[in-house]
Structure formats: C-alpha cells, structure tokens
Structure 1
Amino acid sequence: MAAEPPRRGDHARQSFSNEEYADIFYLYGYCDGDAAAARREYLQRYPNRRPPHVTVFSAVYRRVRGTGNVQRQQRDAGRPGGIPRIPRAEDEEILSKFQEDPTTSTNIVARRLGVSQWKVWSTVHTAGLYPYHYTPVHVMEEGDPVRRLDFCRFMLNADAEDPMFFRKILWTDESKFDQDGITNYHNLHFWAPKEQRNPGKKRPSKSQRRFSLNVWMGIINDNLIGPYFLPNYLNGENYETFLREDLSGLLHDIPLATRQNMWYQHDGCPAHCRVTVRRWLDENYRHRWIGRGGPIPWPARSPDITPMDYYVWGHMKSIVYCDNVPVPTLDQLRDRIINATNDIRRTLTSNVIKSELRKRMRVCIRNRGSHIEQNL
C-alpha cells in the first residue's frame, strides 16, 4: 500500500534526533543562512537519512537562538486540544511585562529581561497575544457625540422615509495635494543581493521649491464630480465665487431631475461659514443643504461619516502617489489627479454612498456618537 502523502503542515511537526538537528543547524550556518542550499547539502551528505523540509533549517536556527535547545518545546499531550504546557517562570515574567504595559514592544522586553527577541515573540504567540494597531481618530470635544447622534438619526430616518434620499445628496470636500505626498519610510525598501554592499539609495524629499494644489470634488450617487482646482488659500470670498460661477458647470452631466431635488453638503471649515455663502445656499438649496449654520447642521470632526473622506481622498492619494516618488512638476501633479479621478469614476458604485454610509451611521449610533473606525 502506498504511503499516505504528507498533509500540509506536517513538515512543521517533524522531529529529529539531537544528532540530526545538530547537523541541520551546522549546515544552515555553513550555507550562510540559505535554507534551500542547506537542504541540498544535507541530502548530499546524508542520502540515507529522512530528508527535512526546507523550513526546518531556519526553524532550528531560531529555536537555538531563542531557547538554546535544538528540540522543540513539547506540548502536554494529555490535555485536550493540544493546550500548551504551563509557562515557566521566564515565560511568566515576559507575559507580566505585557500585562503591566500593553503598549510595550518585544524589543524592549527582550532588552530588559536579557533574552532574545525571538524568545519574547514565541512566548506571546503561545499565550495568544496579537499586536493590534491603533486607529488614528479626531479628538472629540464636548457635545460632539450628541451632535453626531442627532445627525445620524436624522439621516437614517430620512432614508427610511425615502429610499432615494442618500442618492440625492451631493457630498463635497476640499483636499490639498503636494509634490511629496505621504510616505511611510518603514515600508519603503530597496531589494538587492545579500552579498552586495548597502547601495545607499536615497529618496528626495522636502524640496525648497514647494508646490501644491487645492482640489474640490463631490460625489452624488454613483457620479464623481470634479476635480476643480481652487485657490491654495481658500476663503469665504473665493468659495462663494466658486459656488456662483463654477458649480453649475460641474453638474452639467447630472440629470435635471436630480439637480432639482439635490441636497448640498459641506463641512464646517471657516470658508464655508461665510454669511454670503450660507445666504446663497439658502436661496439655491432651500432647506436642502447640510453644513455649519445650515438647516441640517454638520457635526464637527466627523470625517468617518462622509464618503469624501472615508473613500474618495484616500483612494485618490494612493493612486497619485503610488510610486512613492515626489511629483517633479505642478503640471504632472495636476495630470495625476485628473487621471486618478478617471480611474475611480470607472469603478464607482452607489454602494459607496448608500450601503457603506448607512452601515457607518448605524455603528455611530451603537457607539453613542463616539469614534467608529475601530469597529469597521
């Protein structure tokens, strides 16, 4: 009868004698940490032995470095579900450091206790701990949760009365795009052969010749409006000029029936709160605009419940700055913004507005008006 083929993950449970593990460890170092080469060398030297999987070589090295032992730590076979053995005093000391300060790092704990970082990682992993990331959120001020609750309740009630309500709202916002974008250097790498010296790659940043673009955009149902390039310094006067002279042209392709029943939304930035701006909105969107001082007040510090923030800007900037290289000229930055808009426009669906927005507002109500990003 043919032997049963090894199941996925069986190689991780292979056990060898101390002598075999010693040879595995030696050849991993002999081949300068190349596990595949070490396995080939092992097969040539010991053709009559059971061949170890390629992952065994690096696993043995980590185990020796972390614990000083070549053999894996055994689990208590008599306990149900393969529950790990009771931690030793050293493990308990490691875990106590994370109980005292859940924000600490494996590197800090390893240095303080004089153990390897791999040992710390192994202990917290066995204990079922996982390093969760913080979610950046706006600082809530007094009264913000109540205003967010009131707004979300109004919106969901209006949606229940009129299933097309969310599709009638033109959500708008402005965002700055500069030549550098946002770069996470922690995740920016240059791959090169290990034996090669550090190539000393550089990435230009913080040019003295700075330029940026202030972009207005809107989204209604499954239509993306814009981009429109506003003055870099936006004030009430030039924002009012934009509403009076340019907005209607941007909405030219929106059906007339939609425009006649459309709501206008913007946030509470100072330029939006100018008296003449609010007067113009009252005249052109009577009882149908959302904003500071409007018939439906916009709750401050609420980017998590507007599709411009939770969908459009993040998506656009990931396209505009996809190569992690500063944009060389203002014209190229403008072209990238236009191209990114066209990319998003081709894939935009009404679910971005109706389904996602409804879900976020319900979560906001469940959280009593507090932050919701960590619950999505």
Structure 2
Amino acid sequence: MATYSNEEYADMLICYGYCNCVSAQARTEYIRRYPDRRVPDVSVFDGVYRRLRETGSVSRRRTDLGRPRVIDDDEEQDNEIVERFRRDPTTSTNIVARELGLTQWKVWFTVHTAGLYPYHYTPVHAIEEGDPARRMDFCRFMLNADIDDPNFLKLILWTDESKFDKDGITNYHNAHYWAPKELGNPNKKRVKGSQRRFSVNVWMGIISNHLIGPYFLPDNLNGETYENFLRGDLGDLLDDLPLQLLRDMWFQHDGCPAHFRRSVREWLDTNYPNKWIGRGGPLPWPARSPDLTPMDFYVWGHMKSLVYSEPNPISSVDVLKERIINAANDIRRTLTTGVVKSGLRERMRKCVRNRGGHVEHEL
C-alpha cells in the first residue's frame, strides 16, 4: 500500500493546482520537478486534494463507516480501479464496479479523474497481402503529381456507386425522446422496418467543388449496363462543368467487375487517354482502398445521414429517390474544393507514413 510523506503530498498539491486540477498533467509535472522521487498514480493527486477539502488533512482515512468493503482504503481503492482498466482497456465500469463491490458512479468518477476516457473502435477495411505496397505506390504518385501541379487533385472526377435501401442503418442507442419527468415514459415508437423491402443503386461523382449526380442505375450493375451509362448518360451529367475542367479532367472508378469489362476500359482509353484511374488503367486503383476516395470518406456517409435523418418511414422508391436528390442538393450548396483536396492530401500522407496501412483510426 503506497504512502507518502506530508512534504510529498504538499508538492503534489502544488503541481495539481499548477495544472488546473488535471491529474494526468499534474503527474507529468511532478515527475519533471522531482525525477528522483517515487511516481504516484494520477488518482493520488485528486485523492489528496479531495481529502484536504473534506477533512482539512492530507492524511488518508484509516477507518470507514463500518460497511463491509472489498478494499478498505480510498487511495488503494482508486489505484485498484485504475489498474483494472490499465490491465484490460476493454473492460467496463459496470464489470469493475461489480467485481470490487462499488457503485458504477464511483468507478466512472475514478477513471475519469485519472484521465481515462472511453473511445469507440474505428471500423476499417481489410487489407490483403500486397495491398500496402500498391496503396503506397498510388499515394506517392498522387502526392508527387500534386506537387508538380497544385491543381491536379481538383482535376480528378472521383466516382462510385452505392445502394440505398428502405430502412438504412439506424443507431437507436443515441436516439432519445425528451419529455417532462412527471409524464412518465411516453412509450414513443419509431418504425424500424417491414417485410416490404426495396432499394436503389446510385451513381455519383465529385470533382473540385462540383457534385455530379445522383444517377439511378439498375439494381444489379453489370459491365454492359455500366458501359451504356458511360456512353449515353455520363456526358449529360457533366454538361455543367467548365470547359477547361472537362478538357483536363481525369476519370476515377474502383475495380469492381462491371468497371473491369474490356469494352469499358477501351472506352476510357479512347475518351480519357492516359488520364483515368481504375483496375487495369494507366494509373491502377489500389484494391480495398475506400479510405482514399472522397466518395467514401465524405459523400456517401454525409448523404446517408441526411437521407435517413427524418423520422418518417420511406414508403416508396419515389420517396427514397426524392430524399437522395434533396440530400445531394444540400451537400452541393456547401461543397468546397478543400473537402477533396485537403482530405485527400491528409489521407495519402498518412497512408505513406503508415507504410500503406490503415488511416481511418488516425483521423
């Protein structure tokens, strides 16, 4: 059981006040000032301050109120709580409280005081053997091209397809309905789904500060329907772009089977000679890299949050399409070149620094 002299406690209080009562910072400051002393846990700083306020003494209480407890001493108790989380960062306040015979609030307060906070995992895509090298090659090319021509990243038409269905993905954990306490539980409900399901397949693109689409593709996209779209509809969607941008534009898509059709690649070679990015293209697209395209890291997530934000259920395909169009118009009004350019630079630099590995968890 760790004990400290009154002099040590006094110096801890000085560091605690110097760091605006932030225990983690106070511990760092204490180590800097007194490198030859024992290093106290961060919880000690809050504990000695609390005891001084409540009892007028920095000494620890030696007795409790007679109620049986798993750990008798406040400071040792705090140390044990923090140690549980350091041994197993995936544990919960509920588990630790149950194991130590404490209230969950006591456990939460202790770990919060110690400077520990709960964080969510970041879901990332799977990377297979050989992917990191291809991702690094792609990012290095893009970054070097951006240095040679500061407008290069703004000249790429990034494209993708995504499915929107009737119900979307709803996180009910953070969905609340606030009402006066005296009314009790209002028992509100929200329609989650039904047996009648439908979806639409949406193509969109983004270039500089221009959002292209949405265009509604057949549900089951294949090489023939995708080629027909490129030959017959893409040009109409790009009509509003400035002529200079159209002349210098690169075309990007990923490596799904419909994109890899030979006639599709031949059409791109003819219409975007040496200026298209994709599987089998002059600049190969690295497989399993949704984190490197603004369609995935910006457009789709933003659009789906808008489409599914309304509480009213989506009753038909026409209603779903209307919401998608309205969401695209909302994004279009606020879109800037920085969304594409700054976002891509940051992600590609991190990808190179991580040797082609994941970048989402660092953003």
Task: State the TM-score bracket (shorter-chain normalisation).
Answer: 0.7 to 0.9
Moved more, 75-84 or 278-287: 75-84
Trace 1:56-95 onto structure 2 (pairs within 5 A): 76-79=9-12, 80-82=14-16, 83-85=45-47, 88-95=75-82
Counterpart contact for 1:110–1:120, Cα < 8 Å: yes
Match of 1:61?
Answer: none
Mapped to 2, the partners of 1:325 and 1:116 lie a distance apart of 40
Match of 1:363?
Answer: 350
Aligned: 1:96 with 2:83: yes
Match of 1:178?
Answer: 165
Q: 1:119 aligns with which of 82, 106, 122?
A: 106
Identity among equivalent positions (%) equals 68
Alignment-mate amino acid for residue 346 of structure 1: R
Match of 1:332?
Answer: 319
Trace 1:90-169 onto structure 2 (pairs within 5 A): 90-169=77-156
Alignment-mate amino acid for residue 103 of structure 1: T
Match of 2:27?
Answer: none
Trace 1:188-203 onto structure 2 (pairs within 5 A): 188-203=175-190
Aligned: 1:239 with 2:223: no
Output one character per residue of 1:209-257: Cα deviation in whole Å (capped at 9) or x when no partner: 1111111001111111111000111111111111111111111111223
Counterpart contact for 1:180–1:325, Cα < 8 Å: no
Distance change >3 Å, CA 325–CA 140, structure 1 → 2: farther
For structure 1, the residue ranges without an aligned partner over 5 or more in a row are 1-74
Aligned: 1:320 with 2:307: yes
Alignment-mate amino acid for residue 305 of structure 2: S
Task: Give TM-score, length-normalised by structure 1.
Answer: 0.77
Output one character per residue of 1:42-97: Cα deviation in whole Å (capped at 9) or x when no partner: xxxxxxxxxxxxxxxxxxxxxxxxxxxxxxxxx95542222334762222222222
Mapped to 1, the partners of 2:11 and 2:247 lie a distance apart of 73
Counterpart contact for 1:76–1:85, Cα < 8 Å: no
Alignment-mate amino acid for residue 168 of structure 1: L
Distance change >3 Å, CA 120–CA 106, structure 1 → 2: same
Please give the secondary structure, in 1, of the residue aligned with 2:154.
Answer: helix
Match of 2:206?
Answer: 219
Alignment-mate amino acid for residue 105 of structure 2: W
Mapped to 2, the partners of 1:189 and 1:142 lie a distance apart of 44
Q: 1:283 aligns with which of 248, 252, 270?
A: 270
Shift in Å, 1:200:
2.2
Match of 1:47?
Answer: none
Mapped to 1, the partners of 2:304 and 2:158 lie a distance apart of 18
Mapped to 2, the partners of 1:354 and 1:263 lie a distance apart of 15
Mapped to 1, the partners of 2:113 and 2:297 lie a distance apart of 36
Shift in Å, 1:324:
4.0
Counterpart contact for 1:76–1:84, Cα < 8 Å: no
For structure 2, the residue ranges without an aligned partner over 5 or more in a row are 1-7, 17-44, 49-73
Output one character per residue of 1:178-208: Cα deviation in whole Å (capped at 9) or x when no partner: 1212211101112222233323222212211
- Report the count of equivalent residues: 302
Match of 2:254?
Answer: 267
Please give the secondary structure, in 2, of the residue aligned with 1:209.
Answer: coil
Task: Give TM-score, length-normalised by structure 2.
Answer: 0.79
